[in-house]
Amino acid sequence: MSETVLILGATSAIARATAAAFAARGAALYLASRDMDELERIAADLKLRYNVEVHHGLFDAEATETHEAFFQAVIEEMRRLSGVVLAFGYLGDQQAARDFNAGAKVIASNFTGAASILSHCANYFEPLKNGFIIGISSVAGDRGRQSNYVYGAAKGALSLYLQGLRNRLFASGVRVITIKPGFVDTAMTYGMPKLFLVASPQAIGERIVRTLDKSADVVYLPWFWRYIMLIIQHIPEPLFKRLKL
Ligand SMILES: NC(=O)c1ccc[n+]([C@@H]2O[C@H](COP(=O)([O-])OP(=O)(O)OC[C@H]3O[C@@H](n4cnc5c(N)ncnc54)[C@H](OP(=O)(O)O)[C@@H]3O)[C@@H](O)[C@H]2O)c1
């Protein structure tokens, strides 16, 4: 039976590439985000290029009160789901660190909204004893830095949440995969100074889908970020706090 995959935050550059890689292997898709016009364009393009079933619908990560009905509507429309890719994210700006209301939006988009929709996904897959959840977190969640610690804290919380979910769902045979990209060339990083080792969203999307054919639980993309973050995590705190990062 072919795969049926829900992609949350489907207008993101990484999500588009992931959707294309799933479509290339014949998966039926449900694309969700806040921008219905853009979703319609992406869905039409994927249908044309890959001749697969593509549905789309409105999803706002911050509107947690709508998540249960949203997820039920997806199941009714798709009849069944084999997996979910959680791709939405919001970087925010420098204000997020100085102004709690700006920071709260970053936390709500990247963590609270993710925890809310993932609870519905997990409750669906657990009794089926089948399925996968791929959550896109970030290397930014591995250590707090002055330049983006609100986003980093939200992504760090998401990584921990996914780790706990993996532990809970292991016995049911449901896979939970945490993706930690480094810098990727998307709208999120557009115009940022001092970026290095920037990957293309296409390469990241293809690798995300390929993780399903491997046994890894936490995947750094590209692979070398695992070692970069290992070094960063091991810098002693008395030294780390003096660095301009
Ligand atoms: N680019 C990087 O260097 C990088 C590095 C590490 C991790 N990541 C993570 O990778 C994922 C994809 O990022 P990207 O770079 O491809 O991002 P992007 O092109 O900027 O897209 C971000 C996506 O998040 C969606 N989104 C934001 N707030 C939302 C909300 N409240 N409800 C629903 N959707 C929301 C947006 O959808 P709409 O506006 O259409 O609703 C948009 O599709 C994100 O989780 C990001 O944090 C990115």
Task: Residue count of the chain, please give it.
Answer: 245
Is the pLDDT at 221 greater than 80, yes or no?
A: yes
In the prediction, which pLDDT does 93 show? Answer: 83
> Ligand 1: distance of its center to the CA of 12 in Å?
5
State the closest ligand 1 atom to the C-alpha of 139, by its place in the atom list counted from 1.
6
For residues 28-41, give the mean pLDDT. 98
Is the pLDDT at 197 greater than 80, yes or no?
A: yes
> Ligand 1: distance of its center to the CA of 238 in Å?
33
In the prediction, which pLDDT does 220 show? Answer: 98
For residues 60-85, give the mean pLDDT. 98
> Is the beta carbon of 59 within 6 A of some atom in ligand 1?
yes
In the prediction, which pLDDT does 30 show? Answer: 98
pLDDT band of 97, cuts 50, 70, 90: confident
In the prediction, which pLDDT does 159 show? Answer: 98
Domain boundaries, the chain: 4-240
> Ligand 1: distance of its center to the CA of 97 in Å?
19
Percent of the chain with pLDDT over 70: 100
Domain spanning 4-240 has what CATH number? 3.40.50.720
Read off the pLDDT of residues 161-195 as tens digits, 9 standing for 90 and up.
999 999 999 999 999 999 999 999 998 988 887 78
pTM listed for this prediction: 0.97
> Is the beta carbon of 233 within 6 A of some atom in ligand 1?
no
For residues 81-94, give the mean pLDDT. 94
Task: Say how far apart CA 196 and CA 182 lie, in whole Å.
Answer: 9
Is the pLDDT at 95 greater than 80, yes or no?
A: no
